[in-house]
Amino acid sequence: MAKKSNPYEIEIFQLTDKIYTYRFQINDSFFENREDSLVEKGNLTVDVEIEKSASLINMTMKIVGVVELTCDRSLESFDFNIDVTEDVVFKFGLENKELDENLYEIAKDTLSLDMNSLIYEFVCLQIPYKKLHPKFQSSEDENDDEVMVYRSSTDDEITDENEEEESINPETIDPRWKSLLKLRKN
């Protein structure tokens, strides 16, 4: 028996109308083969349940495991847990195309489903925009977006500048600029 060239492929052509389960093991080589991958290393288990009917395929994909990320703050590597369940529907039609998020049309004569890109997409969607090592994550950092890290002037300087602007004497201003003062007051 010939070995399949794509280990993340599910042959659907000869499936009858019932429920099937599949399991895929994801390791570092899965991510190495992708150009500009968000993840370089990982160890994941993907459990796929397919319910096939005459007009569509309902798929539930559960991905559990760990990927290695690089901290945006310290550049240290750390393990990030992935635990996601996604439902995908493949509707039989005339051509292969994406209809909506997690809803695809596939040709009636499709022989197999390539799970490679779906698995990668669902893993990448779990990666946070701001990747912080767990040692930086605390209850204080949860509102990190609201914390001001740097300020160029003190409160006193800002108050002094505002007072100066408000105390402009129209008599001492160049007449060409007086009309601009009227605009500012409106």
Q: What is the pTM of this model?
A: 0.69
Distances (CA, A) of 114 to 2, 68, 81: 18, 24, 24
- CB-CB contact of 60 with 87 (8 Å): yes
List CB contacts of 96: < 8 A, sequence separation 6 or more: 104, 105, 106, 107, 110
Query: Which residues, given as ranges, of the chain have pLDDT below 50?
Result: 1-2, 139-141
3-state helix/strand/coil string of 76-137: CEEEEEEEEEEEEEEEEECCCEEEECCEEEEECCCCEEECHHHHHHHHHCCCCCCCCCHHHC
- CB-CB contact of 81 with 69 (8 Å): no
pLDDT value of position 139: 46
